[in-house]
Chain A
Amino acid sequence: MIIKVLGPGCTNCKNLERVTREAVDALGLTATIEKVEDYPTIVGYGVMSTPALVLDETVVLSGRVPRPAELRELLSGHASALPS
């Protein structure tokens, strides 16, 4: 899974990156986590409210930092939907 955290570097964006890493570790997923801070790229995803979370090129949430439980649900839901 390729995970991208979109955000220009404000506190919320850093928080999202941190909780995403924690969730990935907790779930034991194989995933790369990339922080995207470049505005044109962020807007290229159709995102206007940062921070945003992109899983395998699909934007799954934007504008807030979800609670750990919700984040784990999002990640595992996406992981199980992937073709194996």
Chain B
Amino acid sequence: MTIVERMPTSTRRHWLTLSGAAAVWVAAYWVNGWLWDRFLYDRLGMNPTDRLTETLHFFLYDTIKIGLMLVGIIFIVTVLRSYMSIERTRALLGGKREGLGNVMAAGFGVITPFCSCSAVPAFIGFVAAGVPIGVTLSFLIASPLVNEIAVGLLFTMFGWQIAAIYIAAGLTVAIVAGWVLGRLGVQRWVEPFVFETKLGGQIIDSTTGLTFDQRIQMGIEEVATILRKIWPYLLVGIGLGAAIHGWAPADFFTRYAGPGNAFGVVVAVVIGIPLYSNAAGVMPLVQALHDKGLPMGTMLAFMMSVVALSLPEMILLRRVLKPQLLAAFVAVVGTGIVAVGYLFNLILA
């Protein structure tokens, strides 16, 4: 009997459905590549160099492409992440010293499924397990920063090198910032109740014993949840990107925020802080900005600032971090991101 014949029918059916879905996805992606050229230029006879046409084309093509990318990335990453859990991360990080602990924590931050609403219980849980504050912060920084959506979209738009650079830079910022904050002796700036709360009861691992079907189900639900949450931001981001693509002069940003401008990166990072947007909403905007001359380093810094230093997350962290630590957090992480921006403007220029 072949392997397929030996599988129980329901598993076989699920693999067939998955393969079918993957095939549909590939087909849709391929069709999107040429459909809009044919439709706008041939069918409707619009002029490709026309501003309106360019904008429309960008909008239609990008919406479908980004939508498909998001579905693919979120699904695959969620299923893969379901094999890891925050409880296991905590067990693995417990008692680790700073330095190595920061590196491990940052790595775990990337692969562990983590909802930011769990930031407070997770923080308390880590501290109770003997994870140093700095190491915990490395985890909390890396998790939103090395956002799989951002990485996937960067990969689509700019290639694997840029995506790899983003991951490496993000991990470095998380490791160094967490370590620096740890060295500052920030115990006194953590809300007391964190140390007083006893992690009682039995720690149940949130992802053990999940069947493959349940993991697939989680993947599907996560795609639906995220898309439902971000589609307005996505449309606005694509719309703005389309407008910039069609209307802004080609060297607009080189003039005002190009590599020569010393403050460009700092401004980009500062603007990123109050912008509450999922990485997906910012990406299409970012691509259009880059086309108009915004240097890559500035752009990466902006993206990092949007995802890692978001106002809602600050509000959440305020529950466990006193204002001084929160301020230090923003300052250290912000500086790290600005450094990344300048570094890559130099390297990639």
Given contacts A46-B202, A67-B217, contact A40 B117 (CB under 8 A): no
- A1-60 contacts to B (CB < 8 Å): 7-13, 39-40, 42-50, 59-60
A8 and B117 within 8 A (CB): yes
Contact with A along B304-323 (1 / 0, CB 8 A): 00000000000000010000
Given contacts A43-B197, A45-B201, contact A12 B117 (CB under 8 A): yes
Find chain B residues with CB under 8 A from A8 CB: 117, 120
CB distance from A38 to the nearest CB of B (A): 10
Given contacts A49-B206, A64-B218, contact A7 B117 (CB under 8 A): yes
Contacts beyond the supplied A47-B204, A48-B203: 16 A-B pairs with Cβ under 8 Å: A8-B117, A13-B117, A39-B121, A39-B319, A43-B197, A44-B200, A45-B200, A46-B200, A47-B121, A47-B201, A48-B87, A48-B122, A49-B115, A49-B122, A49-B206, A61-B206
Find chain B residues with CB under 8 A from A49 CB: 85-87, 113-115, 118, 121-122, 206
CB distance from B216 to the nearest CB of A (A): 12
A46 and B204 within 8 A (CB): yes
Contact with A along B190-201 (1 / 0, CB 8 A): 000100111111
A-B contact pairs, 28 of them (CB 8 A): A8-B120, A12-B117, A39-B197, A40-B124, A43-B121, A43-B124, A43-B125, A44-B197, A44-B199, A44-B200, A44-B201, A45-B201, A47-B121, A47-B201, A48-B121, A48-B125, A49-B85, A49-B86, A49-B113, A49-B122, A59-B202, A59-B204, A60-B204, A63-B113, A63-B115, A64-B206, A65-B221, A67-B217
Please tell me if B207 contacts chain A, counting CB pairs below 8 Å.
yes
Interchain CA distance A13-B116 in the complex, whole Å: 13
Given contacts A44-B201, A45-B200, A59-B202, contact A50 B121 (CB under 8 A): yes
Find chain B residues with CB under 8 A from A43 CB: 121, 124-125, 128, 197-200
CB distance from A64 to the nearest CB of B (A): 6
Please tell me if B245 contacts chain A, counting CB pairs below 8 Å.
no
Interchain CA distance A65-B206 in the complex, whole Å: 11
Please tell me if A62 contacts chain B, counting CB pairs below 8 Å.
yes
B124 and A50 within 8 A (CB): no
Interchain CA distance A64-B118 in the complex, whole Å: 11
Interchain CA distance A7-B121 in the complex, whole Å: 10
Closest to B228 in A: A11
Please tell me if B57 contacts chain A, counting CB pairs below 8 Å.
no
Contact with A along B85-109 (1 / 0, CB 8 A): 1110010000000000000000000
B204 and A62 within 8 A (CB): yes
A40 and B202 within 8 A (CB): no
A63 and B206 within 8 A (CB): yes
Q: Contact size class for B?
A: 20 to 34
Find chain B residues with CB under 8 A from A63 CB: 85-86, 113, 115, 118, 206-207
Find chain B residues with CB under 8 A from A45 CB: 200-201
Closest to A41 in B: B197
Find chain B residues with CB under 8 A from A65 CB: 221
| Neighbour of A62 across the interface among B124, B198, B206, CB < 8 A | B206
Contact with A along B66-102 (1 / 0, CB 8 A): 0000000000000000000111001000000000000
Find chain B residues with CB under 8 A from A67 CB: 217
Interchain CA distance A43-B207 in the complex, whole Å: 18
Closest to A70 in B: B214
- B185-238 contacts to A (CB < 8 Å): 193, 196-204, 206-207, 217-218, 221, 225
Interchain CA distance A65-B225 in the complex, whole Å: 12
Interchain CA distance A19-B83 in the complex, whole Å: 25
Find chain A residues with CB under 8 A from B87 CB: 48-49
Find chain A residues with CB under 8 A from B225 CB: 11
Closest to B122 in A: A48
CB distance from A35 to the nearest CB of B (A): 14
Closest to B209 in A: A61
Find chain B residues with CB under 8 A from A44 CB: 197-201
7 tightest Cβ-Cβ pairs between the two chains A and B: A63-B206, A46-B201, A10-B117, A48-B125, A46-B203, A49-B206, A44-B200
